[in-house]
């Protein structure tokens, strides 16, 4: 029996990911039964440090993500330096953690954030708005991931592999995660016979309804699907709009008109609004994109519970850094009465935007 090939993940603030990564591990083991994945949470470095260190010492590849606590960094950096895993991927973590990245000859040196030229290009991609620069960087990464595959050379090959893994990671569903593991196994651990599919990219922000056949990247796409769904649910009742982008506004106007008419007819027993096939209000629900992609169910449960009360629901997802963009650019077009934010992030773009508003 072959010796196990072990990968280790140390994750911050991602308890929801355990079952998801187990499914991805199972997919890889269909082709490589010796593959093993050990998933730890950040607090495990305090609760069971010897077990975490032993796993890192044995592993062929280490992943870290969202390691943002100084105490964890002080423990992890010397452990990684002491055991020196062959391959290390670090995502969305403190600079000293990011500098542990090692993919062949490629690694991070500065760890000081985006270089100035990259910052300038990122701002150009979002119309020069400083508060949107991080979202511009996400767009720049998407462009880079498409171009990098054409660059020759071994060093560029390592950077290309890092960039491809970054694409898998940023778009992680079970298939992408499994192919991410298989790419690393093939390129750096001698498993040349694995079948690998290129990353399937999903929009960085958009709309995710549990009844929809796919994710929607724009309000217009979502409203086209929503219009057909409402017309079907109301027995082909005409909603008197075909223009993309104003469905929510027109629906809200009809709802208001229906409410006024109902108030005038209350004494003579007028029909209730929901009996007319119109929602009683419009609620936007904001959720983490990572939760949507990994199949966490709370988002779908919230959407269905609100719709069961006769509400129209706008089911938005964001990575987190661009929440304010969705609120600023999309919600005014959608006739939203109320916003439910499940993400725990501010909706106005963070400290820089708040300073401008003040």
Between 154 and 299, the higher pLDDT residue: 299
247-294 pLDDT, tens digit per residue, is: 565 565 555 454 444 334 333 333 444 445 578 999 999 998 888 988
- 44 shares its domain with 108: yes
What pLDDT, on the 0 to 100 scale, is given for residue 52? Answer: 98
What is the percent of the chain with per-residue pLDDT over 70, rounded to a whole number?
69
What pLDDT, on the 0 to 100 scale, is given for residue 258? Answer: 44
What pLDDT, on the 0 to 100 scale, is given for residue 290? Answer: 86
Q: Tell me, yes or no, whether 193 lies in a domain.
A: no
Average pLDDT, the chain: 80
Predicted confidence band of residue 54 (pLDDT cuts 50, 70, 90): very high
299-317 pLDDT, tens digit per residue, is: 999 999 999 999 999 999 9
3-state SS, one letter per residue, for the chain: CCCCEEEEEEECCCHHHHHHHHHHHHHHHCCCCCEEEEEEECCHHHHCHHHHHHHHHHCCEEEEECCCCHHHHHHHHHHHHHHCCCEEEEECCCHHHHCCCEECCEECCCCCCCCHHHHHHHHHHCCCCHHHHHHHHHHHHHHHHHHHHHCCCHHHHHHHHHHHHHHHHHCCCHHHHHHHHHHHHHHHCCCCCCCCCCCCCCCCCEECCCCCCCCECCHHHHHHHHHHHHHHHCCCCCCCCCCCCCHHHHHHHHHHHHHHHHHHHHHHCCCCHHHHCCCCCEEEEEEEHHHHHCCCCHHHHHHHHHHHCCCEEEEEEECCCCHHHHHHHCHHHCCCCEEEECCCCCCCCCHHHHHHHC
Q: Tell me, yes or no, whether 307 lies in a domain.
A: yes
Q: Tell me, yes or no, whether 300 lies in a domain.
A: yes
Q: Tell me, yes or no, whether 134 lies in a domain.
A: no
Q: Tell me, yes or no, whether 127 lies in a domain.
A: no
Checking phi first, is residue 287 left (phi over 0); if not, alpha (psi -120 to 50) or beta? Answer: beta
- 176 shares its domain with 222: no
Q: Tell me, yes or no, whether 353 lies in a domain.
A: yes
- 237 shares its domain with 350: yes
Q: Say which CATH number the domain at 53 has.
A: 3.40.50
Tell me what the mean pLDDT of segment 73-81 comes to: 97
Predicted confidence band of residue 35 (pLDDT cuts 50, 70, 90): very high
177-230 pLDDT, tens digit per residue, is: 999 999 999 999 999 999 999 999 888 899 999 999 999 999 999 999 999 887
- 212 shares its domain with 335: yes
- 285 shares its domain with 329: yes
What pLDDT, on the 0 to 100 scale, is given for residue 266? Answer: 35
What pLDDT, on the 0 to 100 scale, is given for residue 93? Answer: 85
What pLDDT, on the 0 to 100 scale, is given for residue 296? Answer: 86
Q: Tell me, yes or no, whether 265 lies in a domain.
A: yes
Q: Tell me, yes or no, whether 96 lies in a domain.
A: yes
Confidence check: pLDDT of 9 > 90: yes
Tell me what the mean pLDDT of segment 130-145 comes to: 54
- 44 shares its domain with 180: yes
User: CA-to-CA distance for 83 and 138, rounded, in angstroms?
Assistant: 32
Predicted confidence band of residue 89 (pLDDT cuts 50, 70, 90): very high
- 37 shares its domain with 71: yes
Number of structural domains (the chain) is 2
- 26 shares its domain with 77: yes
The residue written with tokens 């629900």 in the block is 285
Among 6-15, 240-249, 344-353, whose mean pLDDT is lowest?
240-249
The phi and psi torsions of 77 (rounded to 5 degrees) equal -55, -50
Predicted confidence band of residue 170 (pLDDT cuts 50, 70, 90): confident
Confidence check: pLDDT of 83 > 70: yes
What pLDDT, on the 0 to 100 scale, is given for residue 242? Answer: 41
What pLDDT, on the 0 to 100 scale, is given for residue 193? Answer: 93
- 241 shares its domain with 301: yes
- 174 shares its domain with 243: no
pTM for this model (two decimals): 0.75
What pLDDT, on the 0 to 100 scale, is given for residue 356? Answer: 47
- 172 shares its domain with 243: no
Residue 221 lies in domain: 206-357
- 235 shares its domain with 311: yes
């Amino acid at each position: 029996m072959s010796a196990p090939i072990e990968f280790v993940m140390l994750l911050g603030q991602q308890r929801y990911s355990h079952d998801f990564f187990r499914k991805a591990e199972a997919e890889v083991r269909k082709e490589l039964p010796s593959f093993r994945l050990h998933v730890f949470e950040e607090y495990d470095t305090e609760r069971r440090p010897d077990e975490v260190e032993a796993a890192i010492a044995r592993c062929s590849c280490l992943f870290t993500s969202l390691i943002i606590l100084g105490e964890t960094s002080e423990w992890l950096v010397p452990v990684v330096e002491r055991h020196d895993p062959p391959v290390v991927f670090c995502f969305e973590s403190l600079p000293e953690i990011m500098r542990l990245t090692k993919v062949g000859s490629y690694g991070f040196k500065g760890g000081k954030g985006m270089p100035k030229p990259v910052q300038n290009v990122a701002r150009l991609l979002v119309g020069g708005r400083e508060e949107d620069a991080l979202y511009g960087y996400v767009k720049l990464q998407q462009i880079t991931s498409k171009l990098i595959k054409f660059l020759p050379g071994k060093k560029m090959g390592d950077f290309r592999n890092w960039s491809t893994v970054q694409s898998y990671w940023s778009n992680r569903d079970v298939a992408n995660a499994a192919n991410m593991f298989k790419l690393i196994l093939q390129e750096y651990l001698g498993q040349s016979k694995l079948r690998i599919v290129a990353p399937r990219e999903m929009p960085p922000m958009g709309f995710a309804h549990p009844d929809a056949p796919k994710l929607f990247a724009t309000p217009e796409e979502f409203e086209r699907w929503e219009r057909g769904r409402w017309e079907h649910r109301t027995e082909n009742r005409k909603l008197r709009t075909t223009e993309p982008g104003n469905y929510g506004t027109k629906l809200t106007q009809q709802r208001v008109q229906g409410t006024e008419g109902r108030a005038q007819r209350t004494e003579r027993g007028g029909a209730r609004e929901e009996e007319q096939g119109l929602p009683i209000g419009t609620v936007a629900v904001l959720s983490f994109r990572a939760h949507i992609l990994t199949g966490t169910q709370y988002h779908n449960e919230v959407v269905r519970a609100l719709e069961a009360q006769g509400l129209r629901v706008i089911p938005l997802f964001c990575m987190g850094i661009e929440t304010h963009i969705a609120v600023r650019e999309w919600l005014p077009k959608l006739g939203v009465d109320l916003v439910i934010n499940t993400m725990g992030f501010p909706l106005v773009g963070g400290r820089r935007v708040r300073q401008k508003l003040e």
